[in-house]
Structure 1
Amino acid sequence: MGLIAGLVVGGILTASVLSALVWRIGSQSQQPRIIANAAAPEVDTQWKAVSFRSGGSQMKGWLLEPSQGSATQEEGWLFETAQDSAAEEEGLLPLVVVAHGWGSNRTRVLRYTHPLYKAGFAVFMYDARNHGESDTIKAPSALMFRDDVIAAVDAARRLPGIDPDRVSVLGHSLGGFGALLALDQGMRVCSVITDSMPVRFETMMEAELKRKKIPSFPLAYLIPPIWLIRSGISQAQFRAANIPDVLARHAGLEGNARTPVLMIHSSEDDFIPAADLRQLKEQLSAGTIETLFVSTKGHSSSEQDPAFWDRVLPFLEETLLKEA
């Protein structure tokens, strides 16, 4: 009995130590690296600093105007006291909200902006919570990205000079994931463009473990429940965050009260494989989404392929520059 009792106690202690270790790894993997922003955006157009709120947290962003003057900073806007007077003004601008991915910030998605503001679009990018200069929360998640996109779109609609009826979203990686989930929460935008977006939660998890050089097996199966518990996400909420189902409900031609969606991925992305998007396209009914596969190396370089802008700008012109 002494030996058996000792083995039982030893087994319990070992299990406890392993559980604590897995929990610690799960907690660490749920904390994105925080990268400082540039002091000012390197752009050849006018810009403004913007503050707004999401989930009680303060968010920081930049608005780039579609003009060719020297970049000068004006006094930032705080949306707790902003007036909804823009809709009464003439010459209101169409706007593209740019959402960055996990472990990134608004400075890093400036790479998208030059062709957009040169084409006549205002551009609004922001730091999601736990990124850049925005406030932090205990356990960021894909649903946080969803809620932050919704808050950013709401804030953008109240910007002076912006047409609230002509707003679209361009989301990179998890920013795109959050933008699509936001459609299921009633976010109304003219269109959504995703770039290098993970389609499956499993892909997202495996990529983050790879980035942190943590073995995928068996942690890819043990860590997701930890993320959900720490984020306060229920199993029902997790099941509802299913991209194929969300797209089937909301994506498609505008005439059917649906949102046009263009999904782009590089065939040479070594972080989030393009196979996810190819499989998704086969799952969905024809016409639900538009897709484009480019050929650039890495996870954050799709816009370097000329085919990217050859498709993105006409798509935005068709969905965003229509008569309000």
Structure 2
Amino acid sequence: MQDMRPDRIGCHRAASFRITNTSINKTNNTATEVDHAMDAALFGWLAGSVGAAVSSAGAAVYGLTVKAQSPRLVPNERQPEVPFESVEWKSGEGTVRGWFVPHSQSGSGSSGLSPTVVVSHGWGSNRSRVLRYVHPLHREGYSVLVYNVRSHGDSDSVKAPSGLLFRDDLQSALRYLEGREDVDKQRIGVLGHSLGGFGAVLALDEGAPIRALVTDSMPVRFATMVEAELRRRKLPAFPLAHIIPEIMVRRSRIPSALVKRANPAAILEDNASGKRVPVMLVHSRGDSIIPPAELNHVLARVPDANHLFVDVDGHSASEQDPAFWPAVTGFFKEYLSIREEAVDKQGDYASV
């Protein structure tokens, strides 16, 4: 029988309260532990999901970078319409292939040799697509060397092409010309279109033996080059234009110091201050691929730079402006010292 004495009743009530409170605390602790476990599980799931998303996004961006660094391979569609030689030489670990279009040596100068102009194409192009420069130059009395940069046309490929290929392959082309007996080594000019011009300016910075340089529609900022390729592939510039360049540099293993120095505007400023190599810069106001702001960027640093804005639409059409050829041939004639009697007026060229 239950003890109903007042003091015992209090003890029972206290014991009952302690038991009840302990049960409540155990329940609360269990709930708290469950809550913590659920939070940890949720956090782990979220972290895993975010990590997977980041990893997936990173893989996607890397894949886009690889594509952006893979110029389209366009076969040579045409050949020169005058006698030429198929030539090749080594550049790095690969072979560069091109055409040498010799000009008559008669009346060319004190050496009896014609001056030579090297024509360098741009990204995703090839030597047949710049025959539009080759034929008019040959008509004016120049021998012309035109070639496919590595990873373009039928030249050998490299794993991670970059703008530096255009510098390196131009330098190898100049070394090739030094080994030819029918070339006046003191009168070699360069005409570079787009990244071909970019590579030529970088070669100037390394003391390449160029007597006169013409660039046409040249990009001078890395971001502009990347954005142009993204537009061609119909991909958004933001944020890819800020991410892809870093991945490109790492894939191509380009030292940071070299990236910093690969600045055509700064190089041209140094070249002008030292009055080393005559340079003429051409750009079309209607160029939607490499905008004319690139030339304005150079002029902001080199206001007196010899330049020509032409008014045609497109990235590869400057030569169609009536002002282009008189300016370009006049420039080369002045600095490569070609004589009027060396100009071949007999060549029969189709419209190019």
TM-score range, shorter chain: 0.7 to 0.9
Tell me the equivalent position of 1:198. Answer: 219
2:287 to 240, 249, 269: 269
Letter in 1 for 2:70: Q
Residue 285 (structure 1) shift: 4.9
Contact 2:272/2:302 (8 A) holds in 1: no
Q: What is the DSSP-based 3-state SS (H/G/I as helix, E as strand, rest coil) of the residue aligned with 2:268?
A: helix
* TM-score normalised to structure 2 length: 0.81
1:303 aligns with 2:319: yes
What stretches of structure 1 move > 4 A for 4+ residues in a row?
none
Q: Which has the higher helix share?
A: 2
Tell me the equivalent position of 2:5. Answer: none
Map of 1:116-127 to 2, 5 A cutoff? 116-127=137-148
Residue 248 (structure 1) shift: 1.6
Tell me the equivalent position of 2:69. Answer: 30
Compute the RMSD of aligned alpha carbons. 1.7
Give the direction of change, closer, same or farther, for the CA distance of 1:244–1:135 in structure 2 (3 Å limit). same
Contact 1:158/1:164 (8 A) holds in 2: no
Tell me the equivalent position of 1:247. Answer: 268
Letter in 1 for 2:152: H
**Structure of larger gyration radius:** 2
Tell me the equivalent position of 1:238. Answer: 259
Tell me the equivalent position of 1:14. Answer: 53
Structure 1 vs Structure 2: percent identity of aligned residues? 45
Tell me the equivalent position of 1:86. Answer: none
Letter in 2 for 1:19: G
- Distance in 1, Cα, partners of 2:204 & 2:179: 19
1:278 aligns with 2:296: yes
Tell me the equivalent position of 1:66. Answer: 103
- Distance in 2, Cα, partners of 1:139 & 1:205: 14
Cα deviations across residues 165-224 of structure 1 (Å, max 9, x unaligned)? 110100000000000011111212111100011111111110011011111111001100
Residue 158 (structure 1) shift: 2.0
Residue 235 (structure 1) shift: 1.5
Q: What is the DSSP-based 3-state SS (H/G/I as helix, E as strand, rest coil) of the residue aligned with 2:316?
A: coil
Tell me the equivalent position of 1:130. Answer: 151
Contact 1:97/1:168 (8 A) holds in 2: yes
Where structure 1 has 5 or more consecutive residues not aligned to the other structure, the ranges are 68-88
Q: What is the DSSP-based 3-state SS (H/G/I as helix, E as strand, rest coil) of the residue aligned with 2:149?
A: coil
Residue 251 (structure 1) shift: 3.7
Report which stretch shifted further, 97-106 or 216-225.
Answer: 216-225
Contact 2:99/2:145 (8 A) holds in 1: yes
Tell me the equivalent position of 1:79. Answer: none
Residue 307 (structure 1) shift: 0.4
- Distance in 1, Cα, partners of 2:264 & 2:92: 23
Where structure 2 has 5 or more consecutive residues not aligned to the other structure, the ranges are 1-39, 105-109, 340-352
| Paired positions, count | 296
Contact 2:111/2:184 (8 A) holds in 1: no
- Distance in 1, Cα, partners of 2:165 & 2:331: 27
Tell me the equivalent position of 1:51. Answer: 88
Residue 92 (structure 1) shift: 1.5
Report which stretch shifted further, 171-180 or 140-149.
Answer: 140-149
- Distance in 2, Cα, partners of 1:291 & 1:177: 15
